[in-house]
A and B are shown apart, each in its own frame.
Chain A
Amino acid sequence: MKPTKKIASTVTFIVYDVDPRSFLAFRDVAARIRKRLEDELKNLAPVDTLVIDFQHVEAMSNSYADELIGKLYVALAAGDVAASTVSLTGLNDETRDAISVCLERRKLAAVDADQGILLGQVVALEDTYARALQLGEFRASDIAEAMEISLTNANNRLKRLAEAGALHRERASSPEHGGKEFTYRVPQLEATTPSR
């Protein structure tokens, strides 16, 4: 019998552990850190939730943020990251700002798990994410009803949130309306498997 691969529930990648500087700079360094993260995820895959922790980092350049986080989220939106959801933690005002800038430029969004908010390109998504946090686990029809928006609109917003790694998305076993339907779930951060 083939052995089944253990699913890593939550994996935390502490940036300071692999790049021990309080001020993060230089694009090429960020590229190496991102590659290491991606390689570690492949080894641990499948991963339910990836947490990228910026504790001890006091500031970072926009270029570094773009190379590490911007490009990671581009890959995430394309389905090329071996994690279902991604959250950022340990941010301060400076690192949050650098990450927000790079995500806005790339028209992407990410979850700041400590503050329970979205960073980056968040128009029309902030309210939806806030509602998702309240609901916990839901379908698009639940969001549409709660926010008094169309089902199509709800589906579009939830798709973008899933591409931003903010929500788990799974095919519903019993679609309410026939056809393809998904259930969504906000990731619960818990005690983790360390990334190394």
Chain B
Amino acid sequence: MRTTGVEEEPLVIDGRNLKFGGPLELTAITALTHVHAAADTPVMLYLPDREEVTSYAQRMDMLEHVAPETKIQGWTPFEIRNDCSTRLLEVSPLNLTTRQPVIDRLRIIAQANLRPPLADRVVTGITELVDNAVTHGHSEAGAFIAAQLYTGRTTRHPRLEVAVCDTGIGVLEHLRQGPRTDRTRVTTCAEALRRALRRGETGTDEIRGHGLSDVFDRTEELGIARIVLRSGNGLARIARRGPVRRLRRRTTTCSVSGTWAWARVTFPR
């Protein structure tokens, strides 16, 4: 998938060669269209040539939630919609009104596929991502979430993927607001993401800032967990296998507005 444009320039999202889509692709595309629409810049979306990928985007309500100003090129198949409420959370706006129904839907997915104590532990971890987006990532363009439970038929192990894309001020600006943040040490988006994954880092004046770390802690016994964060031109990947965590971060050439968070938890069979 290729994109062009900064906020002031027309955005072209060319998904014609997209061979696969998941929650992150769908929420990111949705967020991108809203950021540019809020800046009054034209948005063009080319749908994937592969029918199954377009069908997936359609089924996941991405086409329903992209900015209404978006010009869409491509063909959408006739849709027969089955109940997938135990496997899919379709692309949904995330705000103070929708956050509770979103969490309720995530619980349905988790409880349908995991034994009781683990289901709620996964959801409590993901709730931290939701809370962060609604609390720190609000903006005119909004925030979006999607999730999918993969049964393991094609992915070896069952896993849950959740993506939350907000269009707020981003992690760097948020942390730099904090009265206890040493601004001389937090100067890049990549560094801000690294710190955001540490305990106790917050852009508020309160003793808090464990949310992202809690995403791992609550799911520790489930197996492998992975989080990817993008904010501004920063990218951070953290993977956990059992008690061992590995963090990598870097600066990218392409910036995003706000913060994109993608979490995947792989369950043992």
Question: Which of A's residues lie within 8 Å of B, judged by CB?
Answer: 21, 23, 25-28, 58-63, 66, 93-94, 98, 101, 105-106
Contact = CB atoms under 8 A, between A and B. Distances in A.
A21 B100 CA distance: 10
Interface residues of B, number: 25
Contacts, number: 60
Contacts of B240: none
Contact of A94 (B103, B121, B207): B121
The secondary structure that dominates the B interface is helix
Contact of A60 (B100, B124, B130): B124
What are the nearest 5 A-B pairs in CB distance? A59-B120, A61-B127, A25-B127, A61-B124, A62-B214
Interface in B204-236: 207-208, 210-211, 214, 217-218
B117 interface: yes
21 contacts: A23-B103, A23-B104, A23-B123, A25-B130, A25-B131, A26-B131, A27-B131, A27-B135, A60-B124, A61-B127, A61-B128, A62-B214, A63-B128, A63-B131, A63-B211, A63-B214, A66-B210, A94-B124, A98-B124, A101-B217, A105-B207
Contact of A28 (B124, B135, B211): B135
A70 B214 CA distance: 16
B3 to A, nearest CB: 32
A73 to B, nearest CB: 12
A62 B124 contact: yes
Interface string B92-128: 0000000110011001000000000100110110011
Interface in B137-181: none
From A28, A62, A98, residue with most partner B Cβ within 10 Å: A62
B120 A94 contact: yes
Interface of B: 99-100, 103-104, 107, 117, 120-121, 123-124, 127-128, 130-131, 134-135, 199-200, 207-208, 210-211, 214, 217-218
Contact of B123 (A59, A101, A105): A59
B99 A26 contact: yes
B120 A23 contact: yes
Contacts of B117: 93-94
A94 B118 CA distance: 10
A35 to B, nearest CB: 15
Nearest to B213: A62
A106 B207 contact: yes
